[in-house]
Amino acid sequence: MSMFRSYLKAQAFHEGRAQPSATVRHVHLSHAPLVFVPLRMAGEAAAPLGAMVGCDRAAPTLLVVPQPRNRELRFAFATELAAVVLPYIERFAGETETVEAKTPYERCLDAPQILVPNPRGVAFSRLLGRSTRFRRTSGPYAVPPSVPAFGQWLTFLAERAEHAGSSMFLAMTDVLAAHWVTGQSGVEDGTLAALLAWIAPPAGSTGHEAAAESEDPTRTPPAGPDTDPEFDRKVLQPAIDAYDASGSPERVEEALRRHLQPTWDLMWRAVDLLRGLPEAAGVSGRWERDRTALAREVARLGENPTPQGRWDSPVAAARRLAALEIAQQTYEAARAFDDPLAMAEYRVEGAAFAGEVVAVEADRRIVPPGGKRAVPRPLVTVRTGDPVRLAPGTRVFSPARRTQRKAEIVSVAGDTVTIQINDGMGQGREPAPGSVPSLGEVVCYTDLDPGGGRTPPLPALSDTPWTHGGPPEPYVPTDEDAQESWS
Amino acid sequence: MSRLDALRGPTPPLDHNARSIAALAANPACDRRAVLDAVGVDKNLMAVHLGYSAQFGQSPFAVVRTRQFEEIVRAGGGAGLLPLLREALGLSIDTARWESADESADEGGGESAEEGAGEAHAVRHTRTEALVARAAGDPGTAVVLDRLLLRLDVAGHEVHLEPGVLVFQAGERFHVVTIKPFAVVDGQAETGRVSAAAREAAVYVHAMRALLVRMGLAPDRVSHDVVLVCPENFSNVPTASLLDVRRELSVLAWQLARLTRIDRILDGLPSGLSLDLRIEAGVPTRPAADLDEAVSGIAARYAPECLSACEMAYFCRAEARSGGALDALGRAVRDDLGGVETVGAAIGLATGTRTATAGEQGVAERLRHIRKIYQETVAQETVA
């Protein structure tokens, strides 16, 4: 954590209310997101117990597995869940546009957005995808075609969720914690109810009081995928026993509805809160990348509808890692560029500074090293109260002039910083109007680069060197994978 | 140790287990936990009696699953376990003897709290020593040791460890084998659960090594590679993998060495202090306010990590919060605001209503700067 966030935590505790740490919303928010609150059987890796799912807050679909140890019932659950989720995804997968570029590419017009309560919900979905994508539609343990298709989509979405800035599959607690800082620790922030209690406590109560109330598992059951142990003992176990005796799932349904409904409501409250924030400038660009990723997956499924293998090949893994790193860096930089509160965090750490321009040498011209002609190289001096930790020679960027990519720090002396502008001033003898900050203007510079990040040169899959096992064999579905036990 | 008995009252003491030692070692500065554990108080009962229902229960489903999986692994005298050990450790043995240090409790459970726990412990521990000595003296024969009772010195106080693990010897090496019910899917398991398993296993490795030292054997005969047996993918089929616990071991050894000796903590406590719950027919009868005062008299060191490691955590959290302690907000916050103890002090330094002491100058300056730019930014955005 940074000192900035630590201060906000203290301030939130002091005021009894969460402090905004963002002025804009940094995630895309769909008009009709699909909210998914899954539950799993305690002690099992991926045995679904039930879920509330749907796009309409007033009419969630409740799915239950009345006897979670029964494999048949689990696949029945997967089939029912697929019947809700697949049509939702396929609605977006079908509509694409061709984007004109050096190499034109396909992009979906819109993309699905699935919201789960917390990161464990994402992890559980990934396992659910893993346990369903290899199933076959014929032979032993046959399942309907929707089950493996659903598994492949879940796998794809869970993989996308690891990319910073992607909004197709989001954990609500992460999203909220990126926009508000509460007066409780990160451990408690992992609980959706406690987090919301701090951000939007009921009228008349403080975050302290509301969060304390939200910790009572009988009033606010855990947001899943794990259930409350007391609930398991006192409510669920008898309900499952009743199902075993009578064959009627009614009691299990009722128990899980009560367990899920509060979290379902909280999810939609969180959606409302996020809607209240204006969208950040970079969101639409990042959503375009999600739409492109979706179109690529549609194309992959069209060419070769085999499930994703269990492991990445070395080259694919290296590519993926590089892509994740770039996504992380550019997302962090874009956040700071789009949002002065996010930038403030970097200003405190000395990786950015803001202040008033106190001197400008706009007509300065020098002959650059190795050059022949004098070219404009204006100097701008900024007075700042920020503790600058950027060394002379560092390339810096400014949210106000995003096309200038080569400005550099010349000197730092006391509370003044002098910058030389090297590009983005037009073709003329004089810098184009507005391209050089003017006297008295308040500017902000940082070494964060939202346009940065280049994939390292990696060989094609077919050129994987022998040190890394040579060209990988493509994944071929096996009987063993298809019939893997799920107990 | 009569002081400990006096603090506890007539209730029989609870034993340590690897989890409690790992938790204690994770927070060595917490006198409250050190005392309560040394005394052997039922912390769960105590927390509930004080009005803080610790969210520590285990789901009956998880309990069943854990037991089932243990049974599968142990089935047939370890017949299924041997091939797993062979593969994980790269051995070429065909058979292994299975020996238990607790002959009385071969049928499940094995809780010996009821009848003369002290005596049973002594018997089991003697037998443990004998089994380990025999195995060490005959390194050619592979052997699995079950239900050993280990002893460990914690803060100058001898505790018994009832391992839920097996110890396997082949060649000259002992390996701790730990059976956990969480799944390993495509070679990966939940990080949090693996590290918890590693921390616990390290306690057993540490205790086993201490035993070998007492017996005049080389401690490094106990391997730092622990065998972790888990269900594979979504099945009940066990799979074994090696877990290197060297890091956990060195952390544990260092933390155990840092633990204040329990007698020194006890010396600092008011005389006449009692932690007795006055249990009558299984129900605590001591007035909660009275108990609260007694427990509050022992200094705690709360951190949010306690919430998943200590039954008393909610009690200590309430205490930390009511005093506005920065500990309640997390260790990172405390570290960032180094030297400042409370929220009130931090806000006071930021607003300038509190004069910074010599040690607080640096933090105060940064806090004032943060407050200034935060307020400026929020104000600008509201105008815009």
Q: Which residues in chain B have their CB less than 8 angstroms from residue A183's CB?
A: 329
* Residues A203, A259 within the same domain: yes
The helices-and-strands tally (H runs, E runs) of chain A is 15, 16
* Residues B8, B43 within the same domain: yes
**Mean pLDDT on A353-366:** 94
**Mean pLDDT on B59-64:** 90
* Residues B215, B203 within the same domain: yes
| Chain A, nearest residue to B306 by Cα | A187
pLDDT for the residue B168 = 87
Q: Is residue A474 part of a domain?
A: no
Q: Which of B278, B303, B328 is the last residue in one of the domains?
A: B303
Interface with A, mutate which of B72, B179, B233, B321 (most A CBs under 10 A): B233
pLDDT band at A445 (very low <50, low <70, confident <90, very high): very high
Q: Which of A304, A334, A364 is the last residue in one of the domains?
A: A334
Q: Is residue A347 part of a domain?
A: no
Interface with B, mutate which of A2, A4, A8, A13 (most B CBs under 10 A): A13
**The residue type at B357:** T
Contact A386 B235 (CB under 8 A): no
Per-range mean pLDDT, top range of A33-37, B26-30, B73-77? A33-37
Q: Is residue A342 part of a domain?
A: no
Kindly state the percentage of chain B with pLDDT values over 70.
93
pLDDT for the residue B110 = 41
Total tally of structural domains belonging to chain A: 2
- Using a CB–CB cutoff of 8 Å, tell me whether A123 touches chain B: yes
Q: Is residue B315 part of a domain?
A: no
Contact A484 B233 (CB under 8 A): yes
Looking at the DSSP assignment, which residues form a beta bridge with residue B229? B179, B240
- Using a CB–CB cutoff of 8 Å, tell me whether A284 touches chain B: no
Q: Which of B256, B290, B320 is the last residue in one of the domains?
A: B256
* Residues A358, A277 within the same domain: no
Average pLDDT, chain B: 86
Interface with A, mutate which of B333, B347, B376, B380 (most A CBs under 10 A): B333
pLDDT band at B120 (very low <50, low <70, confident <90, very high): confident
Kindly state the percentage of chain A with pLDDT values over 70.
99
Torsional class of B347: left (φ above 0), alpha (ψ -120 to 50), beta (otherwise): alpha
Could you list the residue range(s) of the whole structural domain that residue B214 is in? 60-256
- Using a CB–CB cutoff of 8 Å, tell me whether A183 touches chain B: yes
**Would you say residue B108 has pLDDT above 70?**
no
- Using a CB–CB cutoff of 8 Å, tell me whether A86 touches chain B: no
pLDDT band at B296 (very low <50, low <70, confident <90, very high): very high
Q: What are B84's two structure tokens? A: 């797993």
Q: Is residue A126 part of a domain?
A: yes
* Residues A321, A374 within the same domain: no
Determine the Cα–Cα distance for residues B81 and B83; give it in Å rounded to an integer. Answer: 6
* Secondary structure element (H or E) that encloses residue B22, with its range: helix B18-26
Kindly state the percentage of chain A with pLDDT values over 90.
71
* Residues A130, A244 within the same domain: yes
Contact A253, A80 (CB under 8 A): no
* Residues A131, A168 within the same domain: yes
* Residues B166, B149 within the same domain: yes
**Would you say residue A482 has pLDDT above 80?**
no
* Residues B47, B150 within the same domain: no
* Residues A293, A174 within the same domain: yes
**Would you say residue A475 has pLDDT above 60?**
yes
Contact B190 A123 (CB under 8 A): yes
Q: Which residues in chain A have their CB less than 8 angstroms from residue B58's CB?
A: 42, 229
Contact B181 A41 (CB under 8 A): no
Interface with B, mutate which of A7, A122, A218 (most B CBs under 10 A): A7
pLDDT band at A25 (very low <50, low <70, confident <90, very high): very high
Contact A212, A204 (CB under 8 A): no
* Residues B199, B74 within the same domain: yes
Determine the Cα–Cα distance for residues A407 and B363; give it in Å rounded to an integer. Answer: 32
Tell me the pLDDT tens digit for each residue of B218-232. 999 999 999 999 999
Residue in the structure block whose two tokens are 């622990």: B226
Contact A54, A34 (CB under 8 A): yes
CA dihedral for A170, A453, A103, A406, sign (positive or negative): positive
Residue in the structure block whose two tokens are 């089991």: B124
Of the candidates A438, A194, A473, the residue with the CA atom closest to the CA atom of residue A309? A473
As a whole number of Å, the CA-based R_g of chain B is 24
Q: What are A259's two structure tokens? A: 């367990």
A404 contact partners, CB below 8 Å, separation of at least 6 = A397, A398, A421, A422, A423, A424, A435
- Using a CB–CB cutoff of 8 Å, tell me whether A285 touches chain B: no
Tell me the pLDDT tens digit for each residue of A408-425. 999 999 999 999 999 989
Contact B307 A187 (CB under 8 A): yes
Tell me the pLDDT tens digit for each residue of A134-189. 888 888 888 899 999 999 999 999 999 999 999 999 999 999 999 999 999 999 99
- Using a CB–CB cutoff of 8 Å, tell me whether A229 touches chain B: yes
Q: Is residue B331 part of a domain?
A: no
Total tally of structural domains belonging to chain B: 3
Q: Is B233 exposed, middle or buried (0-12, 13-18, 19+ CB in 10 A)?
A: buried
| Chain A, nearest residue to B318 by Cα | A212
Q: What are B186's two structure tokens? A: 């495509």
Shortest CA gap A23–chain B (Å): 7
For residue A237, give the nearest of B60, B328, B332 by CB distance. Answer: B60
Q: Is residue B324 part of a domain?
A: no
* Residues B191, B48 within the same domain: no
Q: Is residue B251 part of a domain?
A: yes
CA distances from A404 to A178, A285, A440, A442, B309 (A): 28, 19, 20, 17, 52
Contact A274, A29 (CB under 8 A): yes
* Residues B129, B105 within the same domain: yes
Torsional class of B183: left (φ above 0), alpha (ψ -120 to 50), beta (otherwise): beta
Contact A63, A71 (CB under 8 A): no
* Residues A155, A296 within the same domain: yes
Q: Is residue B48 part of a domain?
A: yes
pLDDT for the residue A160 = 95
Per-range mean pLDDT, top range of A127-136, A367-376, A436-445? A436-445
pLDDT for the residue B192 = 86
Q: How many CB atoms lie within 10 A of CB A136?
A: 17
For residue B329, give the nearest of A10, A131, A236 by CB distance. Answer: A10
Query: Which phi and psi (to 5°) does residue A10 adopt?
Result: -60, -40
* Residues B84, B225 within the same domain: yes
**Mean pLDDT on A236-259:** 95
- Using a CB–CB cutoff of 8 Å, tell me whether A230 touches chain B: yes
**Mean pLDDT on B104-133:** 67
**Would you say residue A487 has pLDDT above 70?**
no
* Residues B289, B344 within the same domain: no
A269 contact partners, CB below 8 Å, separation of at least 6 = A196, A200
Contact B233 A387 (CB under 8 A): no
Q: Is residue A316 part of a domain?
A: yes
**Mean pLDDT on A363-377:** 88
Higher confidence at residue B384 or residue A140?
A140
Q: What are A316's two structure tokens? A: 């694919």
Contact A186 B328 (CB under 8 A): no
Determine the Cα–Cα distance for residues A326 and A332; give it in Å rounded to an integer. Answer: 10
B226 contact partners, CB below 8 Å, separation of at least 6 = B175, B176, B177, B178, B198, B201, B202, B204, B205, B242, B243, B244, B245
Q: Could you tell me how many residues make up chain B?
A: 384
Higher confidence at residue B256 or residue B364?
B364
pLDDT band at A454 (very low <50, low <70, confident <90, very high): confident
* Residues B126, B201 within the same domain: yes
Lowest mean pLDDT among A112-121, A415-424, B107-116, B258-267: B107-116
Query: Which phi and psi (to 5°) does residue B373 adopt?
Result: -70, -30
Shortest CA gap A42–chain B (Å): 5
Q: Is residue A278 part of a domain?
A: yes
DSSP string, B204-256: HHHHHHHHHHHTT--GGGB-SEEEEEEEBTTSS-EEEEEEE-HHHHHHHHHHH
As a whole number of Å, the CA-based R_g of chain A is 27
Contact A360, A435 (CB under 8 A): no
* Residues B245, B376 within the same domain: no
Of the candidates A214, A324, A227, the residue with the CA atom closest to the CA atom of residue A269? A214
pLDDT band at B105 (very low <50, low <70, confident <90, very high): low
Determine the Cα–Cα distance for residues A160 and A182; give it in Å rounded to an integer. Answer: 28
Higher confidence at residue A168 or residue B144?
A168
DSSP string, B98-110: EEES-GGG-SS--
The 3-state DSSP class for residue B145 equals strand
* Residues A307, A423 within the same domain: no
* Residues A379, A427 within the same domain: yes
* Residues A31, A167 within the same domain: yes
Q: Is residue B141 part of a domain?
A: yes
Higher confidence at residue A145 or residue A468?
A145
pLDDT for the residue B109 = 41
| Chain A, nearest residue to B234 by Cα | A486
Determine the Cα–Cα distance for residues B309 and A212; give it in Å rounded to an integer. Answer: 20
* Residues A357, A293 within the same domain: no
* Residues A320, A391 within the same domain: no
Interface with A, mutate which of B48, B373, B378, B382 (most A CBs under 10 A): B373
Residue in the structure block whose two tokens are 């009956």: B60
For residue B333, give the nearest of A6, A23, A123 by CB distance. Answer: A6
**Mean pLDDT on A420-432:** 88
pLDDT for the residue A257 = 96
**Would you say residue B293 has pLDDT above 90?**
yes
| Chain A, nearest residue to B181 by Cα | A43
Contact A467, B216 (CB under 8 A): no
Average pLDDT, chain A: 92
For residue B59, give the nearest of A2, A6, A227 by CB distance. Answer: A227
* Residues B244, B293 within the same domain: no
Shortest CA gap B197–chain A (Å): 15
Q: Is residue A24 part of a domain?
A: yes
Contact B106, B129 (CB under 8 A): no
**Mean pLDDT on B107-125:** 60
Q: Which residues in chain B have their CB less than 8 angstroms from residue A446's CB?
A: none
**Mean pLDDT on B292-307:** 93
For residue A484, give the nearest of B58, B190, B234 by CB distance. Answer: B234
Q: Is residue A288 part of a domain?
A: yes
Query: Which phi and psi (to 5°) does residue A75 adopt?
Result: -70, -30
Q: Is residue B365 part of a domain?
A: yes
pLDDT band at B316 (very low <50, low <70, confident <90, very high): very high
Residue in the structure block whose two tokens are 């899954």: A38
Contact A29, A275 (CB under 8 A): yes
B132 contact partners, CB below 8 Å, separation of at least 6 = B145, B148, B167, B174, B208, B211, B212, B215
Q: Is residue B326 part of a domain?
A: no
pLDDT for the residue B116 = 55
Determine the Cα–Cα distance for residues B68 and A194; give it in Å rounded to an integer. Answer: 35
A415 contact partners, CB below 8 Å, separation of at least 6 = A355, A383, A384, A385
CATH code of the domain covering residue A377: 2.40.30
pLDDT for the residue A486 = 65
Of the candidates A183, A76, A178, the residue with the CA atom closest to the CA atom of residue A132? A76
Could you list the residue range(s) of the whole structural domain that residue A21 is in? 8-334
Determine the Cα–Cα distance for residues B316 and B327; give it in Å rounded to an integer. Answer: 10
Contact B150, B165 (CB under 8 A): no
Pairing between β-strand B283-284 and β-strand B279-280 as defined by DSSP bridges? antiparallel
